[in-house]
Amino acid sequence: MTTTSAPRRVALFVTCLVDLYRPTVGFAAVKLLEQAGCRVEVPETQTCCGQPAYNSGDNATSAELARSVIEAFESYDYTVAPSGSCAGMIRYYPRLFETEPDWQARARALAERTFELMSFLTDVCGMTTVEAGLAETVTYHDSCSGLRQLGVKEQPRQLLQGVRGLRLKEMADAEVCCGFGGTFCVKYPEISGRMVADKADAVAATGATTVLGGDLGCLLNIAGRLKAVGSPVKVRHAAEVLAGMTDRPGLGDPEPG
């Protein structure tokens, strides 16, 4: 798929939620990146991008975590995360080093080469289709950071069109926040609960059997609500479908048998 002689060296930023909750998404990301002709590595020292601290106003802690990420990832051609939110956080890194020009330059260099998975596959690697099938009607939730900070909107839809048998049915207010918001969902659970209930209703109204998205935080939230009200709608990261790795039950669904 690529035309350059040397394959792109891509570092996968797994994200803490994928690491903890849904390793399948990580493997799906690796598979897709390799299909796109990248050489994928997973830096060993990675943990957290620092977003919880940044969004809580603790810029110093956030900067400390950012330094670790910069050191671990700056030697690669690209850094790719299966999350608009975490990739977006890395794009914010230069802001954390306003008084440290050296670090700011390093932060900027990393930020410029950091991408959300699906937009990286299409916009950088030129991927137009995938080798996968799913005979279902799905709907897609646009996660806020990906959508508004990184401009991820058409890329996942374009790739999903290449999935055999898949039919995409848009939900109402697909671009409206699901109410996750990182620590927001536990700081203001009642408000968050109303927002995700609205989201779950919008999902259900499409009649889709699976809801997809590009950020595990939102997906855990949406699954948490759908499963609490006994909805059969499956919740998955879009990468699972694009990589043809849909053997596992959806988020919050029981193991078969």
Partner 1 sequence: MTQARSHEFRTRAVQALRDETLKSALARAKDGFVLKRRQALDALPEYEALRDRAVAIKNHTLEYLDHYLERYEEAVIRQGGHVHWAENAEEACRIVVEICRQAGARSVTKGKSMVGEEVGVNDALEAAGMEVVETDLGEYIIQLANEPPSHIIAPAVHKTRGQISDLFHKHHARYGLTEKLVEVPDLVNEARQVLRQKYLDADVGITGANFLIAETGSNIIVTNEGNGDLTNTLPKVHIVTAGIEKVVPTLEDATTLLRLLPRSATGQQITSYTTLSTGPRRPGDPDGPEAYHVVLVDNGRSAMLRDEFREMLRCIRCGACMNHCPVYGAVGGHAYGWVYPGPMGSVLTPLTLGLREAKDLPNACTLNGRCADVCPVRIPLPDLLRSLRHRQFQHQLGTRRARWALRLWAWLAQRPGLYRRVTTLQVRTLRLLGGRRGRLRFLPLAGAWFRGGRVLPAPEGETFMRAWRRRGKNP
> Contacts with partner 1 in 19-48 (CB under 8 A)?
19-24, 26-27, 30, 41-42, 44-48
Site for partner 1 in 196-255 (CB under 8 A): 196-198, 220-221, 223-225, 227-228, 235, 248-249, 251-255
Closest distance between partner 1 and the C-beta of residue 1, in Å? Answer: 21
| Residue with smaller CB distance to partner 1, 25 or 208 | 25
Beta strands per DSSP E along 29-166: 38-41, 78-81, 114-116, 137-141
Q: Kindly calculate the radius of gyration of the chain based on its CA atoms and give it in whole angstroms.
A: 18
| Residue with smaller CB distance to partner 1, 126 or 205 | 205
CA distance 25 to 14: 9
Closest distance between partner 1 and the C-beta of residue 44, in Å? Answer: 7
Helices and strands (DSSP H and E) totals, the chain: 13, 8
| Residue with smaller CB distance to partner 1, 3 or 190 | 190
| Residue with smaller CB distance to partner 1, 161 or 181 | 181
Token pair recorded at residue 107: 């932060």
**Rule CB under 8 A: is residue 55 a binding residue for partner 1?**
yes
CB under 8 A: which stretch of 98-106, 108-116, 127-135, 193-201 binds partner 1? 193-201
Q: Is 255 exposed, middle or buried (0-12, 13-18, 19+ CB in 10 A)?
A: exposed
Strands 78-81 and 114-116: what pairing?
Answer: parallel
Token pair recorded at residue 124: 């950088």
| Residue with smaller CB distance to partner 1, 126 or 151 | 151
